[in-house]
Amino acid sequence: MNKKHTPTVAFHTLGCKVNQHDTAIMAALFQDSGYAVVDFHEVADVYVVNTCTVTHLSDRKSRQMLRRAAGENPEAIVVACGCYAQTAAKELEGLDEVDLIIGTNERHRVVEAVEQFAKDHQRQIYLPEKNDLFYYENLPHERVSGMTRAYVKIQEGCNQFCTYCIIPYARGPLRSRSEDDTIEEINGLVAAGYKEVILTGIHIGAYGRGLKDETCDLTGLCRRILDETAIARLRIGSLEGVEVTDDLIEMIATNPRMARQLHLPLQSGCDQTLAAMRRPYDTAAFREMVAAIRARVPDIAITTDIMVGFPGETDEDFQASLAFADEMAFSDMHIFKYSQRDGTPAATMPNQVDPRIKDARAKEMAAVAARNKIAYEEALIGRRVRLLLEEPLGDGRWVGHSSNYLYVTVTGEGLSSGRFVDAVLTGRQEGRLQGELINSDEEE
């Protein structure tokens, strides 16, 4: 690497919010070592692609981005890290573009690996030994500034082994970060100007397990964060519906700093499919949970992930799933076409569904999702929301998220990123919610 100029590094992140957090940490490590972070489309000395392997499409996109990185600058060092790098190291070794392969628990060594490669040009694979996966990487990332919302990882790995899912193999067993470390990181983020923290993990409803103090849980952690940090808004990432406690619902109902949103991945609305997936609930339990949440927090946004075309899903099963998803009236749905992941039980189940049927089912599900999203938004028109402004659209227009995760456009003078403003929802334009500012001077 040319040491005369400031070395540059560019990141591309695929997949989930946990990966976003992992990238933020790696960016901070590079910055600490004197690198400047640049856009992925710029010429950089190092490209890091933080990959995903949740479906075969994620694999493909990961490979595409690695090739694109090498195309941006053929001289650059190209690093593949994350879940796809972990599970498919052998496959990636065959890609000439890739110089370094770094597994899910070796991210803290990324700078060291790059500097070593700059010296010896030896392609390397850094994968953890199985036992090392218990180590919890504790790396703060408050030095990456210029953002309004930060993903904070409180937990890593998963022991659930849902039959379709590769993630427990890619990220290892469940382990939790200590409450104190989490609070320290959030205090650092507040000091760096962040206004919203999103708690993430692979199975955050199981937060606390594996800690010395096994009495810790997600609700207790949220309470401590509200008490011991000045973070203006706290959002909880994807969570199993059956792990939502009454105390957590109560906190969301009564504390305005708790975001009024829960992402509860349903995966299927058919009991037979849920059982084959080895999910820890049936539709009756899910329905009951959602009703209890809405009874206490009526305007809450409940969002979900749903899968179509799981092995053995008949037309009838799919219709049941569709009807249940519609009944739940999610304010947003992420729709996944089931993808066979090598090594998972579902990959070898009989009655795999034809890709064309998966496509058709995904479309039908998307129509239900769109209808419910619009219905949720339209029911809130005329209501007052507090927005955290994120980015300008030009012409004085800005967009930001409300507590209940509405993405709203407002227009005004002197607006800036990271500022809270109050607005009244006035309607929808070009598929986007519009708001009118009430008092843009108010800071939180």
Residues that bind ligand 5AD (CB under 6 A): 16, 54-55, 164-165, 265, 267, 305, 307, 336, 338-339, 341
Q: How far is the CB of 15 from ligand 5AD (least distance, A)?
A: 8
Q: How far is the CB of 144 from ligand 5AD (least distance, A)?
A: 24
Could you give the 3-state DSSP secondary structure of residue 420? strand
Pick between residue 257 and residue 341 the one whose CB is nearest to ligand 5AD. 341
Nearer to ligand 5AD, 338 or 376 (CB): 338
**What residues contact 237, with CB distance under 8 A and at least 6 apart?**
17, 18, 151, 198, 199, 200, 201, 204, 263
DSSP bridge pairs for 200: 153
What minimum distance in Å lies between the beta carbon of 340 and ligand 5AD? 7
Residue 320 CB, nearest distance to ligand 5AD (Å)? 17
Q: How far is the CB of 55 from ligand 5AD (least distance, A)?
A: 5
Work out how close the CB of 179 gets to ligand 5AD at its nearest, in angstroms, rounded to a whole number. Answer: 26
What does the block give as tokens for 1?
A: 């690497």
DSSP string, 68-136: HHHHH-TTSEEEEEEHHHHH-HHHHHT-TT--EEE-TT-GGGHHHHHHHHHHH---EEE---GGGGGPP
Rounded to 5, what percent of the chain is helix, strand, coil? 40, 25, 40
The closest of 185, 202, 94 to 143, measured between CA atoms, is 185
- Distance of closest approach, residue 149 Cβ to ligand 5AD, in angstroms: 19
CA distances for 352 relative to 169, 305, 330, angstroms: 22, 20, 27
Give the containing element (helix H, strand E) for 401: strand 397-402
Task: Give the residue with the Cβ less far from ligand 5AD, 11 or 310.
Answer: 310
In the complex with ligand 5AD, the residue whose CB is nearer, 151 or 336, is: 336
Cβ distance to ligand 5AD smaller for residue 78 or 266: 266
Number of residues assigned to the chain:
444
Kindly list the distances between the CA atom of residue 366 and the CA atoms of 261, 370, 386, in Å, as whole numbers in the listed order.
20, 6, 28
Q: What is the DSSP letter of 29?
A: H
Q: Which residue number, 279 or 419, has a Cβ lying nearer to ligand 5AD?
A: 279
- Amino acid residing at 269: G
Dihedral sign (CA 164, 166, 169, 175): negative
**Shortest reach from residue 343's CB to ligand 5AD, in Å:** 11
Q: Return the number of the residue (31 or 163) whose C-beta is nearest ligand 5AD.
A: 163
Q: How far apart are CA 250 and CA 18, in angstroms?
A: 26
CB of 315 to ligand 5AD, least distance (A): 19
321-353: buried (b, 16+ CB within 10 Å) or exposed (e) per residue?
A: bbebbbebbbbbbebbbbbebeebbbbeeeebb
Q: At closest approach, how far in Å is the CB of 380 from ligand 5AD? A: 26
Residue 138: C-alpha distances to residues 21, 163, 177, 241 (Å): 12, 30, 8, 27
Q: Which is closer to ligand 5AD, CB of 252 or CB of 266?
A: 266
58 or 403, CB closer to ligand 5AD? 58
Shorter beta-carbon distance to ligand 5AD: residue 165 or 248: 165
